Amino acid sequence: MDVLIVLAYNEQLNIEKSILKNIETFDRVLVVNDKSTDKTAEILEQLSNKFEKISVITNKKNFGPGKSLNIGMREALKYNPELIIKIDGDNQFKPDNIREIQQLAKENSSDFIKCDRFWPGGIKGNIPKIRFFGNAFASLLIKAITGNWNITDPLNGLFVFSNKVAKEINVPKLFNRYGYPYFINLTVSKYNIKNPINIHQYKNTITYANESSKLSPFGVFVKLIGYSFVHFISTIKTKLQFSNYQISGLIDIGAVFVFLSSFISFFMFIISRYFQYPGNQHTWFLLFIVSIVLFIVLMLQSHKSMKTGNDESFKYLN
């Protein structure tokens, strides 16, 4: 059984097209209506009355797409599906792409497929600038944190999950509103260390109209940085449990201490230079520079030790 999860909030103009264009190849369609205030609920009621395979879950309040995904996943797993595909109700994803990744997942025994819109022909229309630059920043950050430089477009919302991977997804409150795809990619990357799975990447196309974005750049920046650091630390413990990753884990520990020493050195430089604290400001600044360089060297070495495993992950299917 294959289940399609559709997340919807105020999508009265797009929700019917999003569902009807994709309903044919799925055994079950679960729509999570995130307390829409327009006519989305009415349209979904009509569709569910017309098609037995459509089920609608209406949130008691507007939770955000991250929590809505959790709600949809829990419901989808009740059917013990082979595959779960998650889309949004805004009709931005091409039905051809959705059908193709569904088929490719079966042909390649995929446990997880993430998508990438940043290729020639991957974006139709104008993507909001904040989303473009936010994704570029998130891409660099996730590469640095995971050591996997094959990961691209970590904020793309089109996913395929196998049953066992779907059980590992539980989006935290931090990502209820924005950034849950980033969390999913980090979670799967960490899970792959403990339980090697078939991970793939697919070049999809997203169509934009004249959307604007109300995202706070600073808030997103802080959220991604903070969670990435916590994830990096927790992943070290996971690496140390498996021989293939122990060297990387040990190097990461050294990198953390060097990174912390760079902060201390910079702090001492500032108070020595501007607050007349006893100490040689030039020495502290030199130590800061050396620490940063050593941190970069250690991180690159850690990434190198994981390269073989990472090169086997996130291979493109198209």
pLDDT of residue 276: 80
Establish if 223 belongs to a structural domain.
no
Name the residue range of residue 92's domain.
Answer: 2-216
Query: Is the CB of residue 54 less than 8 Å from the CB of residue 19?
Result: yes
Among the candidates 216, 251, 278, a domain finishes at 216
In a domain, 194, yes or no: yes
Share above pLDDT 70 across residues of the chain, in percent, rounded to a whole number: 97
Residues 111 and 205 in one domain: yes
pLDDT of 218 strictly over 90 = no
CATH code (residue 34): 3.90.550.10
Same domain? 141 vs 248:
no
What pLDDT is stored for residue 211 in this prediction?
61
234, pLDDT greater than 60: yes
Whether 76 and 203 share a structural domain = yes
Q: How far apart are CA 161 and CA 151, in angstroms?
A: 17
148 with 288, same domain?
no
Please report whether residue 74 resides in a domain.
yes
User: Is 293 inside a domain boundary?
Assistant: yes
Return the HEC string of the chain.
Answer: CEEEEEEECCCCCCHHHHHHCCHHHCCEEEEEECCCCCCHHHHHHHHHHHCCCEEEEECCCCCCHHHHHHHHHHHHHCCCCCEEEEEECCCCECHHHHHHHHHHHHHCCCCEEEEECCCCCCEECCCCHHHHHHHHHHHHHHHHHHCCCCCCCCCCCCEEEEHHHHCCCCCCHHHCCCCHHHHHHHHHHHHHHHCCCCEEEEECCEECCCCCCCCCHHHHHHHHHHHHHHHHHHHHHHHHCCHHHHHHHHHHHHHHHHHHHHHHHHHHHHHHHHCCCCCCHHHHHHHHHHHHHHHHHHHHHHHHHHHHHHHCCCEECC
Handedness of CA 74, 75, 81, 84 (dihedral sign): negative
Q: Is the pLDDT of residue 300 over 70?
A: yes
In this structure, the answer to whether residues 260 and 128 fall within a common structural domain is: no
Pair (168, 272) in one structural domain: no
- Is a pLDDT exceeding 90 seen at residue 299? yes
Let me know whether 165 and 251 are in one domain. no
Q: Does residue 308 have a pLDDT over 80?
A: no
Kindly state whether residue 128 falls inside one of the protein's structural domains: yes
Q: Specify whether 160 is located in the same domain as 288.
A: no
168 part of a folded domain: yes
Tens of pLDDT, residue by residue over 247-260, are 999 999 999 999 99
d(CA 115, CA 317): 10
Banded pLDDT at 212 (limits 50, 70, 90): low
Q: Do 34 and 182 lie in a common domain?
A: yes
Render pLDDT for 4-61 as a digit per residue (tens, 0 to 9): 999 999 999 999 999 999 999 999 999 999 999 999 999 999 999 999 999 999 999 9
> Is residue 25, in this structure, part of any structural domain at all?
yes
pLDDT band at 208 (very low <50, low <70, confident <90, very high): confident
Residues 21 and 112 in one domain: yes
* 242 phi/psi in degrees, rounded to 5: -130, 130
In this model, does residue 154 exceed pLDDT 90? yes
306 has pLDDT over 90 = no
184 is a domain residue: yes
pLDDT confidence band for 214 (50 / 70 / 90):
low
Instruction: Kindly indicate the confidence band of residue 163, based on its pLDDT and cuts at 50, 70 and 90.
Output: very high
Q: Is the pTM of this model over 0.85?
A: yes
**C-alpha atoms less than 13 angstroms from C-alpha of 234 in its C-beta half-sphere:** 12
Do 265 and 129 have their domain in common?
A: no
Q: What is the pLDDT of residue 141?
A: 95
Our count of domains for the chain comes to: 2
Judgement on whether residues 164 and 99 belong to the same structural domain of the protein: yes
pLDDT the model gives residue 209:
75
